[in-house]
Every structure is written in C-alpha cells, then in structure tokens.
Amino acid sequence: MTADPRPRRKRVVGLGGTFRQASSSERLVRAVLAACEALGAETAMFDGPALARLPHFNPEHAERTVEERELVDAVRACDALVIGSPGYHGGYSGLVKNAVDLLEDLRADTRVYFDGMPVGLVVTAAGWQACGTTLSALRDVVHAMRGWPTPVGIAVNSVEQRPFGADGVVADEGIASAVQAQARQIMGFAFGSSA
C-alpha cells in the first residue's frame, strides 16, 4: 500500500460563545473558521451550548465524559485554534475558562498544551475597556499554555458596533477585514505560507 501523496488538510478548531446559540462571539469565531476554510483548512467548532455540556473541570477526576474527550481530542489533533469569549466584568467567561481548563489534559502530550500553535482570539464586550482587558487576559492564558496569539486580535464593542447584517454575515467593513487578517495569520503561521 502506498502513502497518499496529497498533504493532509490542516485542522483549525474554534471554541467559544455563550449559553445562547449564535451569540456574537460564537458567530465571529465561526467567521474566522470560514475564512480559514476558504484558505484550505478543515475546521471544527465547539460553541457555547457544546461547552455548557462540559462538567466543571476537576483535575483530580481522571474519568472524562464523551463531550470532554471530544474537545480534548480535537485540540490534540489540530494545527491552530480560535478562541472566542464575551467580556464579563473585564475578563473572559467561566464557560470558556472551564473549556480551556480542561485542556490541562494536554500537559503530558508530545506537543504540550498549545506549544508552537497559532491561536486567534475573538472578544465581544459592552465597552472598549472590557474588550481590551478580556483580550489581554486571553493572550496571557495562551502564552501560559505555550501558544502564539496572532498579532491580530478581534475585539468588538457591542455598544458601538453592529458586526452582523440582517443575513447574519459580518457586515462591518473593519471587523470583516480583521476576520480575514486573523485567518491569514493563522494559516500563515501554522502552515508556513503567506496564505
């Protein structure tokens, strides 16, 4: 049997959102994933409702649910991540934090945590201060987990900006440009191209 000469499609995993399906942060993560797909990636999304099914992370509890294993296995096998969160009181949400905490299960892997992996970050918040502090907090976590936050972080102030049109597509020109730039950086950093 000969090996398939075609290169494997690169995998980008998105996680984030709120308990509400199709929240702004979830839709923006999906927009980045769609832009990555257009550049040749294979993607998977763990949205807010999927994250809500995860039990509270307990490092002393070795048994994992099916949902927990699916998330950990997807991140273990991916080449890049996109993490999105609402800004709650100047920080990222407990829902997203619980999912990221679960990724402690990657600590003993050959690639520890996010080592060498590009990570796109997306934040929506009711004000610029919360946008900045939440984006900064997520960057700190990604650095602590050995990942590389993309230079382009997406921060949307829901008080002043309306990112989506009536059709659900990113309508704000500046936000759409940031989505495309972040996707190009993810693809370029992960795959050594100028995508």
Q: Quick one: which of 187, 188, 119 has its CA closest to 154?
A: 119
- The region of weakest confidence among 32-36, 51-55, 120-124, 186-190 is 186-190
Q: Quick one: which of 75, 78, 145 has its CA closest to 112?
A: 145
Tens digit of pLDDT for each residue in 87-124? 999 999 999 999 999 999 999 999 999 999 999 999 99
The letter for the amino acid at 119 is V
Give residue limits of the domains in the chain: 11-191
Residue 137's pLDDT is 97
Share of the chain above pLDDT 90, in %: 83
Which architecture, in CATH terms, is 11-191?
3-Layer(aba) Sandwich (3.40)
Residue 101 near residue 57 (C-beta atoms within 8 A)? yes
- The region of weakest confidence among 30-34, 67-71, 163-167 is 163-167
Non-local (6+) Cβ contacts of 140 within 8 A are: none
Tens digit of pLDDT for each residue in 71-82? 999 999 999 999
Please give the model's pTM, rounded to 2 decimal places. Answer: 0.93
Q: Can you tell me the mean pLDDT for 145-166?
A: 93
Residue 192's pLDDT is 72
* pLDDT at position 2 over 80: no
Residue 4's pLDDT is 58
Non-local (6+) Cβ contacts of 180 within 8 A are: 35
* pLDDT at position 194 over 70: no
Q: Can you tell me the mean pLDDT for 165-184?
A: 93
